[in-house]
């Protein structure tokens, strides 16, 4: 039980116990696994994380967007315990169980689109993306997949191939999966066509038609895959007209529209799914992260005829939709829907945006403030005119040392993003934002 109400840093980081564990970690864990906070967690509840030395952090990272319903919500923990007492695993492909069916039925009802849907449950975001591509290819009989610059879809071979940031995600990990293509991102702050939004000619959308002429005929493309707000790429919010135009283009060529809601889903952006805010109805939605409050679970939900395209045994996996994750997800969804998460996300978003905008007036390194709902970011630059990127690792380190867990993002690693649990209290939110401001100020004073 964490008794503190906010951040409380008692030792220099890492503290004595964490130092011992760090040494053991460095000896035993592969070097390529990075870490943000140089300590080890003892407990986490709501929006607070306590380490092995008694330091308490306000969490603006939420395990990378996984804890929208907070760390270890009691009802979710109870549901997992009750399920664990019954059985842990049978493999849904061997001996089935009700929670998986119930969850699929909930996701079919909740995802955008007023048409019959079906769901496949898997374990991770990357696995959901991989399978979404399998469904799209089998259904359309086509193989091409188009993703966007600045996209992040995961780290497995196909998902990595659809991802668009060379270092650290792709560098020297090729060759990549064939028949995957990138087109420009609707990244208005750094428009590839030198235009500014609103009032632009949506050249990024037109570029796709050009791509059909120069690169690949549309009748070979199975799907577009897009994050309704690009996450790791820097919380890039496509203009709604762009998403609608993309959907129209997809429809006109028989191309499927896959919305990757892995980071944006489950009220992060103020609505259950971000794509609804543009009015676009996707053919397939991928979800994971906050779906099950930290239990490994992902889902691919789509039009029934698409999801029924593969034959029995052609998709699946040993652990997909494991019973502990399914009961965790069912309880998480219940909590989110019954306790007004949409309103709370909007409130958190408004307060945070207002604070970011007032910071932007004071600190010239804040080039852009953007986001949707409680998925907000500040892009840092050395100069507002040249927009030369300012990497944010010092800001993040400063904040962590003061008791705020903070994430970076962006293709230039120059974006501060926030993914705080939506159960964060007003006091914790204000305290976290104050630490963040102090961290930004410290960087301006150097
Ligand atoms: C939009 C998006 N898609 C896919 C993934 C990959 O998810 P996972 O890390 O669970 O494989 C992520 C992870 O950050 C993501 O943000």
> For each successive 10 residues of the chain (446 residues), what is the average pLDDT?
96 98 98 97 98 98 98 98 98 98 98 98 98 98 98 98 96 97 98 94 96 97 98 98 98 98 98 98 98 98 98 98 98 96 98 98 97 98 97 98 98 98 98 98 83
How far apart are alpha carbons 291 and 270 in whole angstroms? 15
Q: How far is CA 418 from the centre of its chain?
A: 11
Please check whether residue 349 is in contact with residue 267, taking contact to mean a CB–CB distance below 8 angstroms. no
pLDDT score, position 114: 96
Closest ligand 1 atom to the C-alpha of 289?
Answer: 10
Q: 148 CB under 6 A from ligand 1? A: no
How far apart are alpha carbons 71 and 51 in whole angstroms? 14
Please check whether residue 271 is in contact with residue 366, taking contact to mean a CB–CB distance below 8 angstroms. no
Closest by Cα among 379, 374, 373 to 440: 379
Closest ligand 1 atom to the C-alpha of 296?
Answer: 10
* Whole-prediction pTM: 0.98
Q: 62 CB under 6 A from ligand 1? A: no
CA of 369 to the centre of ligand 1 (A): 23
pLDDT score, position 314: 98
Tokens 């690949």, residue located: 216
Protein residue with least CA distance to atom 4, ligand 1: 153
How far apart are alpha carbons 443 and 380 in whole angstroms? 11
CA of 304 to the centre of ligand 1 (A): 24
Tokens 């906050």, residue located: 290
pLDDT score, position 444: 87
pLDDT score, position 445: 73
Say how many Å lie between the first and final Cα of the chain, rounded.
39
CA of 262 to the centre of ligand 1 (A): 6
pLDDT score, position 223: 99
How far apart are alpha carbons 302 and 309 in whole angstroms? 11
Q: 227 CB under 6 A from ligand 1? A: yes
Q: How many residues does the chain have?
A: 446
């Amino acid at each position: 039980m964490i008794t503190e109400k906010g951040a409380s840093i008692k030792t220099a980081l890492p503290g004595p116990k964490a130092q011992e564990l760090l040494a053991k970690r460095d000896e035993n864990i592969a070097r390529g696994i990075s870490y943000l906070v140089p300590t080890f967690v003892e407990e986490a509840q709501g929006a607070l994380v306590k380490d092995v030395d008694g330091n308490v952090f306000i969490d603006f990272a939420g395990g990378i967007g996984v804890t929208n319903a907070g760390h270890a919500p009691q009802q979710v923990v109870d549901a997992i315990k009750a399920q664990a007492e019954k059985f842990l695993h049978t493999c849904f492909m061997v001996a089935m169980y009700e929670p998986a069916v119930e969850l699929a039925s909930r996701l079919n009802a909740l995802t955008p689109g007023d048409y019959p849907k079906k769901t496949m449950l898997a374990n991770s975001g990357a696995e959901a993306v991989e399978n979404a591509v399998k469904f799209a290819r089998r259904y359309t009989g086509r193989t091409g997949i188009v993703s966007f610059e600045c996209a992040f879809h995961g780290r497995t071979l196909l998902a990595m191939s659809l991802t668009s940031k060379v270092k650290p995600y792709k560098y020297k990990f090729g060759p990549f999966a064939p028949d995957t293509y990138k087109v420009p991102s609707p990244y208005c702050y750094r428009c590839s066509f030198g235009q500014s939004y609103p009032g632009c000619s949506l050249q990024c959308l037109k570029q796709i038609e050009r791509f059909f002429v120069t690169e690949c005929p549309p009748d070979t493309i199975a799907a577009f895959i897009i994050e309704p707000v690009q996450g790791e790429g820097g919380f890039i919010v496509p203009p709604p007209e762009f998403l609608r135009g993309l959907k129209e283009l997809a429809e006109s060529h028989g191309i499927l529209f896959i919305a990757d809601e892995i980071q944006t889903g489950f009220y992060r952006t103020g609505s259950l799914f971000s794509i609804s805010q543009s009015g676009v109805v996707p053919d397939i939605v991928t979800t994971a992260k906050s779906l099950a409050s930290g239990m490994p679970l992902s889902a691919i939900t789509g039009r029934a005829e698409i999801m029924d395209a593969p034959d029995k045994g052609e998709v699946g996996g040993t652990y997909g939709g494991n019973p502990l994750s399914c009961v965790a997800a069912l309880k998480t969804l219940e909590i989110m829907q019954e306790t007004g998460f949409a309103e709370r996300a909007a409130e958190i978003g408004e307060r945070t945006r207002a604070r970011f905008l007032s910071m932007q007036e004071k600190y010239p390194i804040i080039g852009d403030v953007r986001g949707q709902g409680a998925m907000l970011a500040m892009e840092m630059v050395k100069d507002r005119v040249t927009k030369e990127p300012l990497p944010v690792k010092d800001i993040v380190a400063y904040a962590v040392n003061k008791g705020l867990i903070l994430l970076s993002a962006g293709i230039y690693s120059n974006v501060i993003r926030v993914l705080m649990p939506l159960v964060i209290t007003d006091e914790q939110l204000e305290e976290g934002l104050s630490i963040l401001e102090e961290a930004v100020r410290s960087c301006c004073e150097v």
